[in-house]
């Protein structure tokens, strides 16, 4: 006989189904997530956005996100050998996930609402860097935002990399274009001896602002909230995508977060559409 579903989990399931069937997820003026008692305790990775039980998020990659007490966390450490995602990743991508034990090496956490000209921010705490033997663990890894995400091959990235650089990139038809990059955290990255220049085990914030301008191009600005850089939000990078290398992404798209080869926690996520 099947085990009964715990009451609290059942309530969360009913809330998710209700919201996903009644709230229009195509556009949103503002979305704030404090990852508190109103959140599903666990978000499971699904192959399609419409299969996610969470009304606000789609975990495209990374197996699990755990939400409790104001924090959203990836898997911390290794999955159990018999966990279904450990077994699936051991088959589908053993190289990047350490034979399936660390799917959190590939976090792709996407909003279910779309935004166009908007501000996005989150605070994060890197607990540890996972020094996987994967050839894809390199200086371009980091913590980055999705902006105007059409799909995994067409979007803007903005964030900070493990080599200490802030970067804004465009990905169009699966090809990357670096729009601008600047050093923020000093040091000389080395895959083996110094695989990370970002602060660990303390909270810092990242914020991006994206909007179309009067020239028909796209302006993207990035800020970091870290006492090491000064008080409050510090502007670290600004760029105008003129479409000179490949066309601009002008339409609304999904937002979200990407992290690579690390155990990480998130706090107080916001995405707010510009009313102007």
pLDDT of residue 12: 45
Confidence at residue 257, expressed as pLDDT on a 0 to 100 scale:
98
Residue 240 inside a domain? The answer is yes
What domain count does the chain have? 1
pLDDT in tens, 162-210: 999 999 999 999 999 999 999 999 999 999 999 999 999 999 999 999 9
Q: What is the largest CA-CA distance in the chain?
A: 65
Task: Output the pLDDT for position 276.
Answer: 60
pLDDT at 18 over 80: no
Does 2 map to a domain? no
Above 50 in pLDDT, residue 264?
Answer: yes
Question: Domain for residue 89, yes or no?
Answer: yes
pTM, full prediction: 0.89
Q: What angle do CA 9, 13, 19 make, to 5 degrees?
A: 140
User: Is 1 inside any structural domain?
Assistant: no
- Whether residue 126 lies inside any domain: the answer is yes
Q: In terms of residue numbers, what domain contains 189?
A: 7-22+29-273
How confident is the model over 133-159, as a mean pLDDT? 98
Quick one: pLDDT band at residue 92, thresholds 50, 70, 90? very high
DSSP label at 73?
A: E
Q: Which pLDDT score, from 0 to 100, does residue 38 have?
A: 78
Higher pLDDT, 104 or 9: 104
Going by pLDDT thresholds of 50, 70 and 90, the confidence category of residue 275 is confident
22 confidence band (pLDDT: 50, 70, 90): very low
11 pLDDT above the threshold of 50: no
| Tens of pLDDT, residues 96-131 | 999 999 999 999 999 999 999 999 999 999 999 999
Cα–Cα separations (whole angstroms), residue 213 to 30, 242, 258: 21, 10, 26
Residue 122 resides in a domain: yes
**For range 16-36, the mean pLDDT:** 63
User: Which CATH number do you get for residue 107?
Assistant: 2.60.120.560
β-strands 218-225, 233-241 pairing: antiparallel
More confident residue, 16 or 110: 110
Bigger pLDDT: 239 or 39?
A: 239
Calpha distance 111→104 (Å, rounded): 18
Mean pLDDT, all residues of the chain: 91
Long-range interactions of 168-177: CB distance < 8 A, separation 24+: 168/220, 168/222, 168/237, 168/239, 170/241, 170/245, 170/246, 170/248, 170/249, 172/246, 172/247, 172/249, 173/246, 175/246, 177/245, 177/246
């Amino acid at each position: 006989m099947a085990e009964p579903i715990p009451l609290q989990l059942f309530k969360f399931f009913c809330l998710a189904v209700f919201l996903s069937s009644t709230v229009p997820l195509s556009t949103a003026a503002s979305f704030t997530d404090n990852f508190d008692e109103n959140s599903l305790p666990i978000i499971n990775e699904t192959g399609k956005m419409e299969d996610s039980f969470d009304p606000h998020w789609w975990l495209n990659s990374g197996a699990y996100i755990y939400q409790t007490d104001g924090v959203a966390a990836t898997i911390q450490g290794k999955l159990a050998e018999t966990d279904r995602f450990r077994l699936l990743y051991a088959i589908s991508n053993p190289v990047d996930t350490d034979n399936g034990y660390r799917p959190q090496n590939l976090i792709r956490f996407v909003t279910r609402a779309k935004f166009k000209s908007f501000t996005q921010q989150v605070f994060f705490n890197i607990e540890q860097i996972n020094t996987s033997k994967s050839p894809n663990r390199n200086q371009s890894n980091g913590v980055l935002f999705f902006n105007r995400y059409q799909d995994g091959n067409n979007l803007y990235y903005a964030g900070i990399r493990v080599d200490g650089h802030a970067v804004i990139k465009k990905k169009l038809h699966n090809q990357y274009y670096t729009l601008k990059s600047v050093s923020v955290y000093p040091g000389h990255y080395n895959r083996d001896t110094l695989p990370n220049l970002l602060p660990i085990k303390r909270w810092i914030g990242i914020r991006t602002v994206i909007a179309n301008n009067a020239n028909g191009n796209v302006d993207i600005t990035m800020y970091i909230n870290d006492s090491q850089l000064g008080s409050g939000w510090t502007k670290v990078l600004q760029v105008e995508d003129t479409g000179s290398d490949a066309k601009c992404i002008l339409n609304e798209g999904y937002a979200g977060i990407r992290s690579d080869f690390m155990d990480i926690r998130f706090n107080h996520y916001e995405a707010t559409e510009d009313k102007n």
